[in-house]
Amino acid sequence: MKTYILSILLGSSFLFTYGQTKISGRVVDEYQQAIPNANIYLKESYDGTATNEKGEFDFTTSKVAEQTLLVSYLGYETKTIVKDVAKMQHLKIQLKENINSLNAVVISAGTFSSGEKSKTTTLKPLDIVTTAGSLADPIAAFQTMPGTSTVADDGRLFVRGGRAEETQIFIDGIRVFTPYTASVNNAPTRGRYSPFLFKGMTFSTGGYSAEYGQALSGVLLMNTIDEPTNERTDISVMSLGVGVGNTQIWDKSSLTINTSYINLGPYISLYPDRNQWNKPYQSFAGESVYRRHFKKGLWKLYAAFDAASFDITQVDINNFDGMNFKTDAKNGYLNTSYKHKFNKRWSTFYGLSYTLAHTETFINSDKLENRQQAVHVKAKANYKLGSFMGLNFGAETFFQDISESYRETSQNQFDYGFDNSLSSVYGETQFQFSKNFATRTGLRLSYNNLTEKLYFARRLSLAYKVGKQGQLSLAVGNFHQNPAQEVLKFNGNVAPEESKQYIFNYQLNKNGKIFRAEAYYKKYSDLVKYNTDLPEFDSDFNNHGKGYAKGVDLFWRDNKGIKNLDYWFSYSFLDTRRDFRNYPSSLQPNFANKHNASVVTKYWMDAWKSQIGLTYRFASGRTYTDKNTTGFLNKKTKAYNSLNFNWAYLLSPQKIIFFSATNVLGTKNVNGYQYANTADEHGFFERQTIKPTADRFFFVGFFWTLSKKQTDNQLDQL
Amino acid sequence: MKKITIALFLILGMATQAQDQYSQKMGEAFGLWKQNKATESSQLFERIANAEPQKWLPMYYAAQINILTSFGIKDEEFLTEKLNKAQLFLDKAKEISPKNEELLVLQAFWYTVWIAYDGATYGPMYAGKVSKIYKNAYNIAPKNPRVVLAKAEWDMGSARYFNKDITPYCKDIEKAIELFDIFEQKTPFYPSWGKQRAEQVLNQCK
């Protein structure tokens, strides 16, 4: 018996100390180079070691039979080998480099994003508000990006020779139908949405994903914040009005509300402009986002309302008393979405938006009333297979109902409008073949109610990494969009317009410096033409219009080279011609300029706790029709120049004083010319210069944040 | 009977051997760290974590080394890799030990590395999160000296930036030092760092 026990004891200790198997091998990378210091161990045991200089390792284990060997090294995917330990000798282990957001090539043709951490990020969220001249309007900030045209009297986004309507704006993936506020003729409009509620924005000047349709030129994607970090109250007192904002956070949900009241009256009385204001511009706007987190989902409800009104008399060459405009505009927008993540691979999204807009304008004594309702419903699913493959597909429907009535002094009233519904499905696959090569192919199929036909849009993007920091991207695709409201109001018998885009992009990212160069060619077909000055009841419409836009966009940004200085430079060359609307032939449209350049600088002065920003913008002249010579769009205005300045001073962590001035040099810019309808006795048409409403504009504001955390402030909203 | 006793003895022996191996390896890893062999040390902590999937401490230290050695790295790609790795350990540790103030402090450090790397970008993104995490940690363990120290130091940094009075935070640091003196390690190898740091920070108050 004793010997038996002894033998067990001995046997077991033999097992513990002598039953050892040696595991050995070598660890290399994809190029057969040794990886020293790789960590190697058997799962759930202490047996393991690290590789030596030559990538070699060996260690012993008392484990037997099949085991899991793990090999890990920083920057590489952890490798798992399941094998009988007896066979784990002279292993040759090859590790694959991690594909991550920093080393992998990304599809970047056409895209500028303002995000938190992405490599394609060219603008940070804060940049939107600290860009001098933008006055906290994201739209204005994106106008300092290449690929946009400066149309100073309009204010909307004009992308690569396209009309403003060719660029669509989306909030959380859902379309915004009326993104711009009501504005006075000849004064730039603003985006309705304050940057405060958004965490990231992507601005694409072409070649965008098949997920987005009904845009011939560009898309601007804005995503609301998922989770605010602090409860806070923001109070702003500005030369133009007041604003109050509040954020409440509960266990699983949060609510942010932002309201503002703007009245131009006091400013105008101090600093009159070229208009005669009978009732100065005033607006009330409110926005709110409610978010609720579920175990695997996130529900968001975004609602915005604004009302604006003004009464103004503007000089008019054909009207001795001037033109009187009295506008009352109300706009409501509701957007709700739910994102659900089933597991690591599958996620889904459902969204819905509703727009209700009503605008009443008196033009002298004529009355124009416009009502608009629009709905966008969308569902999409996303499948991800590691970093290698992504599949994205979805379906959406748009409804739009617009009715307008025009009542002349003579009591003649005209009622017109249209209903529109459009449904699309799309699918897109993304492959990341290696960290050097990625592709995205998409297909979009739309059923159009105007023509009762199906339209196919194909999109392809490729990205290839050159060197450690550079990459080449290519995008081609075709895009469809229904004709503009102004046409559809009078005639539903037209077909969608089409653009084909070819984009070639090179991008270099190096230690806080970004260089981008992009060349593109865009071909338009099926553009709507008509035979009257403006679309009317009795115009003849057809889809025989065509055009092209080609050009080069350059962008350079450096925020590391000089301490505390951040600057960027963008330049766009655009060559575009169109034969559309009432054009007699292919001409450069009046919303396109050949050269556009912006220099934006921001300097942080630590000693003064101040950020000083300067933005300079240049745009070559735009075309106009000189009635005293023959031809159409036959002349060009002089170039546009503007130097803008802003200064944010941190009085204390939670109090900021902000000052901003546009066109500080007071350059006399010209937006165009208005000609008399009839010639004088010499057969000469008088004209008047269309000037900005004011050469300069000043803004002063005081922003105060109240929160438990003493360092929050509104710098990110200015 | 004897057989059973011996079998029991053997099993117990195996268990204590495993326990000893944990202590021994942890000691070895701390030794490597003291010799400034951070990589080797973190690798050993990683292997210990692998062998002891129910213990959060080896993961805590594996994460901590990666985080502390990330301060001052200029190469964004390398920094991302290191911090991603640290985050993996932190996530696993949090699974084993949720609502652990020591892990929260480490998570706050993780964000602080990013803010230190590029304040203009990561300050607005993460500063709020860091404050929130410290607040949580303080709610869980108001008597943990590391929580008191890290929170005070963070608040002090922003106060100093705006030329605000830092005295209230100096008092917190003094409180932290007192807490360090009475703090009892709950288990072997429980985090014990911080007193020296607290004394250094307190010196800046004078």
Indicate the residue among B63, B91, B126 that finishes a domain.
Answer: B126
User: Is A564 in the B-facing interface, judged by CB distances under 8 Å?
Assistant: no
Question: Can you give the length of chain A in residues?
Answer: 718
Q: What CATH number has the domain bearing residue A87?
A: 2.60.40.1120
**Residues B46, B101 within the same domain:** yes
The conformational region for residue A205 under phi > 0 = left, psi -120 to 50 = alpha, else beta, is: alpha
Residues of B in contact with A17 (CB under 8 A): none
The residue segments making up the domain with residue B179 are 142-206
* Structure tokens given for A14: 């033999």
**Residues A64, A129 within the same domain:** no
pLDDT < 70 stretches in chain A: 1-19, 100-105, 110, 112-126, 708-718
Whether A126 and B164 lie within 8 Å, measured CB to CB: no
So what's the pLDDT on residue A696?
A: 92
Indicate the residue among A94, A121, A149 that finishes a domain.
Answer: A94
Strand, coil or helix: A617: strand
**Residue B198: inside a domain:** yes
Count the domains in chain A.
2
Q: Please answer whether residues A438 and A104 qualify as being in contact, where contact means their C-beta atoms are separated by less than 8 angstroms.
A: yes
**Residue type for position A138:** P
Phi, psi of A23 (to 5 degrees): -115, 130
So what's the pLDDT on residue A585?
A: 94
**Residues A56, A178 within the same domain:** no
**Residues B38, B83 within the same domain:** yes
CA distance A354 to A333: 6
Indicate the residue among A38, A67, A94 that finishes a domain.
Answer: A94
**Residue B131: inside a domain:** no
**Residues B32, B120 within the same domain:** yes
Residues of A in contact with B10 (CB under 8 A): 8-9, 12
**Residues A226, A350 within the same domain:** yes
**Residues B29, B90 within the same domain:** yes
Concatenated DSSP letters of A460-503: EEEEEEETTTEEEEEEEEEEEEPPPHHHHTT----PPEEEEEEE
**Residue A583: inside a domain:** yes
So what's the pLDDT on residue B19?
A: 62
Residues of B in contact with A124 (CB under 8 A): 120-121
Min CA distance, A511 vs chain B (Å)? 8
**Residue A635: inside a domain:** yes
**Residues B105, B147 within the same domain:** no
Residues of B in contact with A75 (CB under 8 A): 77-78, 81
Closest by Cα among B23, B35, B107, B98 to B64: B107
The residues with which A333 forms a beta bridge, in sequence order, are A304, A355
Indicate the residue among A69, A94, A119 that finishes a domain.
Answer: A94
Whether A712 and B128 lie within 8 Å, measured CB to CB: yes
So what's the pLDDT on residue A399?
A: 94
Measured at the CA of A113, the angle between CA A111 and CA A118, to 5 degrees, comes to: 110
Strand, coil or helix: A577: strand
Contacts of A159 (CB under 8 A, 6+ apart): A147, A148, A149, A166, A167, A205, A206, A217, A218
Q: For residue B90, how far is the Cα from the chain centroid?
A: 10
The residue segments making up the domain with residue A623 are 111-717
Whether B132 and A50 lie within 8 Å, measured CB to CB: no
**Residues A353, A432 within the same domain:** yes
Count the domains in chain B.
2
User: Is A116 in the B-facing interface, judged by CB distances under 8 Å?
Assistant: yes
Whether A44 and B2 lie within 8 Å, measured CB to CB: no
Contacts of A330 (CB under 8 A, 6+ apart): A305, A306, A307, A357, A358, A359
pLDDT tens over chain B, length 206 residues: 555 555 555 444 445 555 688 999 999 999 999 898 898 999 999 999 999 999 999 999 999 999 999 988 888 888 988 999 999 999 999 999 999 999 999 999 999 999 888 877 788 778 888 988 999 999 999 999 999 999 999 988 877 766 778 888 899 999 999 999 998 888 889 998 989 889 998 888 87
**Residues A546, A575 within the same domain:** yes
**Residues B35, B65 within the same domain:** yes
**Residues B115, B31 within the same domain:** yes
**Residues B45, B74 within the same domain:** yes
Indicate the residue among B96, B126, B156 that finishes a domain.
Answer: B126
**Residues B62, B101 within the same domain:** yes
Q: What CATH number has the domain bearing residue A679?
A: 2.40.170.20
**Residue B18: inside a domain:** no
User: Is A566 in the B-facing interface, judged by CB distances under 8 Å?
Assistant: yes
Note whether ipTM > 0.85 here.
no
Q: What CATH number has the domain bearing residue B57?
A: 1.25.40
**Residue A174: inside a domain:** yes
CA distance B175 to B181: 10
Task: Please report the residues numbered 622 through 651 in chain A whose beta carbons come closer than 8 angstroms to any beta carbon of chain B.
Answer: 650
Q: Please answer whether residues A153 and A236 qualify as being in contact, where contact means their C-beta atoms are separated by less than 8 angstroms.
A: no
**Residue B119: inside a domain:** yes
Over residues A323-355, the pLDDT tens digits come to 999 999 999 999 999 999 999 899 999 999 999
**Residue A355: inside a domain:** yes
Residues of B in contact with A716 (CB under 8 A): 124
Q: Provide the sign of the torsion angle of the four alpha carbons B17, B20, B21, B24, taken in this order.
A: negative
Residues of B in contact with A46 (CB under 8 A): 21, 25, 47-48, 51
Phi, psi of A224 (to 5 degrees): -75, 155
Indicate the residue among B74, B99, B126 that finishes a domain.
Answer: B126
**Residue B16: inside a domain:** no
**Residues A311, A374 within the same domain:** yes
**Residue B134: inside a domain:** no
**Residues A76, A171 within the same domain:** no
**Residue B12: inside a domain:** no
**Residue A593: inside a domain:** yes
**Residues A409, A287 within the same domain:** yes
Measured at the CA of A294, the angle between CA A290 and CA A299, to 5 degrees, comes to: 35
CA distance A395 to A605: 50
**Residues B30, B122 within the same domain:** yes
Q: Which residues of B touch A (CB under 8 A)?
A: 2-3, 6, 10, 17, 21, 25, 39-40, 43, 46-48, 50-51, 53, 74, 76-78, 80-82, 84-85, 118, 120-121, 124-125, 127-129, 131-132, 155, 158-159, 161-162, 164
